[in-house]
Amino acid sequence: MSVLVTGAAGFIGMHVARALLERGEAVVGLDNLNSYYDPALKHARLATLEGQQGFAFHAAELAERDEVFRVFAAHPEIDRVVHLAAQAGVRYSLENPYAYVRSNVLGHLVMMEACRVRTGLKHFVYASSSSVYGGNTKLPFAPEDRVDAPVSLYAATKRADELMSSCYAHLYGLPSTGLRFFTVYGPWGRPDMSPWLFAEAVLTGRPIRVFNQGRMKRDFTYIDDVVAGVLAALDRPPAAEETGRPHRLYNLGNRRAEPLLDFIAAIERACGRTAEKILEPMQPGDVEATWADISASQRDLGYAPSTRIEQGIPKFVAWFRDYTGL
Ligand SMILES: NC(=O)c1ccc[n+]([C@@H]2O[C@H](COP(=O)([O-])OP(=O)(O)OC[C@H]3O[C@@H](n4cnc5c(N)ncnc54)[C@H](O)[C@@H]3O)[C@@H](O)[C@H]2O)c1
């Protein structure tokens, strides 16, 4: 028995792989180590996994069917999949839309096909995103809300993943769970995301660009809470009789919409400095607020996020300073 974790050199993937290894599971990691952001960070994350008992890694490209199928063939023991590899980031999807369709749509299909033909596959868990809620004004966002008006191509590819997975659950009975993550932050986080950009600006004395004149709210979710949610979901494959098809969607957020300026203030406190803020207009593709209704994940998964930003940000900043030397 083992778990394939795609995106294992990524932020969430590394933490999920580590948590699975810690509870004694065998983990096969897959990642193409691409240069969307500095691959040195991906190698450094991988270095924390390599050498651990029960861990194997394959550099492979999701969109190349043969590469993915080779990984499955090399590991007949894989019986569950946590599919986190994707082209992430909202803003970059305006610059390089093709990367999103290749990794997130074609890549998702390849993963579903590999799972479909794997006899005895127990559960396919995959990453979706709060961005599927688009510009919805009903807050908090709930999994049963309509999500047919994405405001970025990234969001559209994530919604496509949900629909494709629902279809495979219907056609082939592939037990699948999609997890809509809400702005995940913490040690080993992503350099293109706001916590990293803000901490870097504060510590190097550069101004912070604050979009939508600071009138933004985000449900920031600490990595340890997200990892607990992913593992809880993995352990509970959906049964077909619940919904007519074995596919479910959950929000993994922190059920709080934090004003962005409060989040920046918490980073400043953790860094012991303040930064000049440059207020800028809303960016295309961005949304003003995210806020997760997590009642379904609490009820079905026992998901119980407990980390407030006052606790999570100092942990992120401590790691950031150590990693970057700033
Ligand atoms: N971090 C967040 O706040 C957040 C929020 C919502 C959704 N998500 C989703 O969660 C998942 C993990 O996000 P993350 O923050 O860890 O991102 P990440 O970029 O750190 O990790 C993704 C990993 O996937 C790999 N990858 C990308 N395309 C690939 C391909 N075609 N073939 C093989 N490997 C590929 C990358 O090299 C990277 O290491 C993604 O699906 C992302 O869309 C993340």
Residue 270 located in a structural domain: yes
**Does residue 170 share a domain with residue 248?**
yes
Q: Which domain holds residue 271?
A: 194-217+256-291+306-324
257 CB contacts (<8 Å, ≥6 apart)?
139, 140, 217, 218, 219, 289, 290, 291
Sequence-distant (6+) residues with CB within 8 A of 233 are 125, 177, 179, 250, 297, 301
Determine whether the shortest distance from the Cβ of 10 to ligand 1 is under 6 A: yes
pLDDT tens-digit series, residues 85-136: 999 999 999 999 999 999 999 999 999 999 999 999 999 999 999 999 998 9
- Residue 242: inside a domain, yes or no? yes
| Same domain (yes/no): 128, 143 | yes
Is it the case that residue 241 has pLDDT exceeding 90? no
Task: Please give the C-alpha separations between residue 215 and each of 47, 56, 286, 298, in angstroms, as whole numbers.
Answer: 39, 45, 12, 29
Residue 13 lies in a domain: yes
Question: What percent of the chain is modeled with pLDDT above 70?
Answer: 100
Provide the CATH number for the domain around residue 285: 3.90.25.10
Ligand 1 atom with the shortest distance to the CA of 61? 32
State whether 164 and 265 are in the same domain. no
Average per-residue pLDDT in the chain?
96
Cβ 87 under 6 angstroms from ligand 1 = yes
Number of the ligand 1 atom closest to the C-alpha atom of 126: 41
Residues 209, 123 within the same domain: no
Distance of CA 280 from the midpoint of ligand 1 (Å)? 27
pLDDT in tens, 42-100: 999 999 999 999 999 999 999 999 999 999 999 999 999 999 999 999 999 999 999 99
71 and 21 in a common domain: yes
- At residue 243, does pLDDT exceed 80? no
CATH code assigned at 79: 3.40.50.720
Substitution site in 5, 12, 254 for ligand 1 pocket (most atoms within 8 Å of beta carbon): 12
Same domain flag for 93 and 204? no
- Whether 270 and 150 map to the same domain: the answer is no
With respect to residue 299, please indicate whether it lies within any of the assigned structural domains: no
* For helices 309-324 and 260-271, angle between their N-to-C axes, nearest 10 degrees: 50
In this predicted structure, the answer to whether residue 155 has a pLDDT above a threshold of 90 is yes
Structure tokens at 90: 């909202």
Residue 21's pLDDT is what?
98
Please tell me whether residues 55 and 68 are part of one structural domain: yes
In a shared domain, residues 145 and 18: yes
In short, whether 132's Cβ falls inside 6 Å of ligand 1 is: no
Domains held by the chain: number: 2
The answer to whether 154 is a known catalytic residue is yes
| pLDDT class of 281 with cuts at 50, 70, 90 | very high
Calculate mean pLDDT across residues 283-287.
87
